[in-house]
Amino acid sequence: MTTALDSSTQQRVDKWLGGNYDAATKESIQHLIDSGNVTELTDSFYRDLEFGTGGLRGILGVGSNRMNRYTVGAATQGLSNYINAAFPGEDISVAIAHDSRRMSPEFARLVADIFSANGIKVYLFSSLRPTPELSFAIRQLGCQSGIVVTASHNPPEYNGYKVYWNDGGQVVAPHDKAIIAEVSKITSVDDIKFEGVPEKIHLIDEEIDAPYVERLKSNAVNPDVIKRQADLNIVYTPIHGTGITLVPRVLDALGFTNVHIVEQQATPDGNFPTVKSPNPEERAAMQLALDLANELNADLIMATDPDADRVGAGARNHHGEFELLNGNQMASLIIYYLLNAWKDAGKLTGKEFVAKTIVTTDLIDQMCKNYGVTCYNTLTGFKYIAEVIRELEGKEKFIGGGEESYGYLIGDFVRDKDAIASCAIIAELTAYAKDQGKSLFDMLMAMYQENGFYYESLVSLTKKGKSGAEEIQQMMADFRANPPKSIAGSPVVRVDDYKALTRLDAQSGKSSAIEAGKMGIESSNVLQFFTEDGTKVSARPSGTEPKIKFYVSVREPLESKEAFDDTYAQLKAKVQRVIDELQLT
């Protein structure tokens, strides 16, 4: 066995077998050795599980590259050391929540014990709660930091945790890299303070739930419409996750009386037994909700992911068939509805703003321009949107924002994407449409008629292993060295390179700087090409997976609702032309 492992992997195995680890862990490692499972042993020990800029994420199991008591413990000890150093002399506290995944309650308690052992007061949710409520709790309780134990919508064998700072947003520079440096200093299991201090751990639940629900109710912009459309026929599924704790409660608090839960997916379960992937971006995860919606002739379908920060939604289209709206469409509809509501209420003073990511539809930019509202664009990741909100706090008023990957935020009392708030506003805007004798899809088509029909598609290419990583690097290098002169018959007029932080005017040949260091922008390996006719192509290697992603956006005017199908087909054909021309396969 020893000859089958490289030296660094073998050293990690020996360290765990000989170190101060519990007997069950050592037995599991010995079983891997005795069974000759070299592949599993190597995967478990060939490296230390990376503590990235957002926190931890990995497969559950024994070993240095797995989520377990010791890797979670080391990360939390390093974070504790950083927090204590960052707030000297202060009465430091943290909030902790967890989702429905395997080991999530155990990891949450472990993290609480380690924080308390390091002299930090802990507010621990007594049972599972959505990620956005953790963000709310940090601000509500005046905490310096927070943790939510979750692996979002990853497969069941994964878990992880996300780290938040005192503004309720996920950690950003300079704290992110400084925390990573501190975590890397924890080189021995003996460095970790596992013995919790019970008097420093305080359980929380309704004292946070109630004010959170009240703040969510305050997001409603047309409560009278909800009263008139209280019987809006809604189907909702939490896909075995945390959304069950608050989505039905919030919809009830707003006044919706006809909400149907998909019972097969209502019970929290980290095995996610009814789906291959608990991801509302995938139609298969929403199939049970679609079936129930058809049976009940529902007006609206909504599904939240396990930690309830993303939501998928669907409504009947103009052919009477249920259609699932993508993240760009729903983000646009939410902003369209809010902009109109704020305008009607006389609340647009010129100091309001919307925030989104650079790969999210430019339809939102266009609508904001029409209403005299600033739209800030950030790098991919909601932590950057939270950073913009923090920078502008007290100067400008946040209306809402989102990203194409099904995450949206309304109001600023939460600083992460919030599927609970999103379900509430999606139900309200659907009720608003119905109050006018229309559907959610009618509202979508009206938005396109007013602002242009924007259509987006994502091409995600998986390139595994060392050769795959090199291939991805080469693709980006080729695009930088030889950017396309035209795309789908339209000249490229602008090239944005976020790695070099430069913006090239392709017509004049002049280059200018993209300002970094604030407002959600820093150096990142992203390229964007803009054409004369409004086509946009973004290239972005994934930071966490062996993938490169291409975001393609095209647009055409929509002359009438009757022209929707033809225009839609035209846009899809144009996207395919872009994919073929740029060889995005």
Q: How many CB atoms lie within 10 A of CB 460?
A: 12
Could you tell me the two tokens for 547? 């993938």
DSSP state of 144: S
126 is catalytic: no
CA distance 125 to 115: 15
Q: Position of tokens 């280059």?
A: 511
Could you tell me the two tokens for 454? 């924007």
Total residue length of the chain: 585
Could you tell me the two tokens for 136? 């709310």
Instruction: Please give the C-alpha separations between residue 530 and each of 213, 505, 522, 549, in angstroms, as whole numbers.
Output: 42, 10, 20, 17
Instruction: Please give the C-alpha separations between residue 376 and each of 123, 421, 453, 458, in angstroms, as whole numbers.
Output: 34, 21, 21, 22
The answer to whether residues 146 and 132 touch, using CB atoms and an 8 Å cutoff, is no
Half-sphere exposure of 42 (CA within 13 A, CB side): 11
The residue among 373, 375, 380, 362 whose CA lies nearest residue 552 is: 362
Could you tell me the two tokens for 145? 């930091």
Hey, which bits of 272-345 come out as E strands? 300-304, 311-316, 322-325
Residue 76: strand, helix, or coil: helix
Give me the catalytic one of 44, 80, 152, 405: 152
The answer to whether residues 49 and 60 touch, using CB atoms and an 8 Å cutoff, is no
The answer to whether residues 307 and 150 touch, using CB atoms and an 8 Å cutoff, is yes
CA distance 517 to 515: 7
Hey, which bits of 449-568 come out as E strands? 453-462, 486-487, 490-497, 502-505, 511-513, 527-531, 536-541, 547-556
CA distance 264 to 246: 18
CA distance 505 to 106: 54
Q: Position of tokens 């650079």?
A: 358
The answer to whether residues 449 and 328 touch, using CB atoms and an 8 Å cutoff, is no
Does an H or E element contain 165, and which?
A: strand 158-165
Residues marked active site are found at: 152
